[in-house]
Amino acid sequence: MKILNDFDLRVLETAKTWYLEGTVYDPDDKKWPKHPSFVYRVRGEWTSWVDELDPEHIELESDEYFKYVYQDLIEEKAWKIYNVLICIDENA
């Protein structure tokens, strides 16, 4: 039996959140999605958090940089799981 680590749990939680509320917009600002990386992934416009958050102001090799790289890894894996969930949902 495999025990899920923190990374795997965050991947699954992200995929679940996108599946349930990926296209929901921020209640305080209807122009901004609650999950921008998901919305832009669906549109094919997403690159990475570092690129979206002004790469000129994020120092390479900094803690902030690695935080965004880690989040990108989580979301890349979650995106694959989300696409499997959509396929299952469409075939149900």
Above 90 in pLDDT, residue 5? Answer: yes
What does the angle CA 36 – CA 27 – CA 88 come to, to the nearest 5 degrees? 55
Which residues span the domain enclosing 70? 6-91
Better-scored residue on pLDDT, 54 or 31: 31
The answer to whether the beta carbons of residues 18 and 35 sit under 8 Å apart is yes
1 belongs to a structural domain: no
pTM of the prediction?
0.82
For 58-70, write each residue's pLDDT tens digit. 788 889 889 999 9
Count of domains in the chain? 1
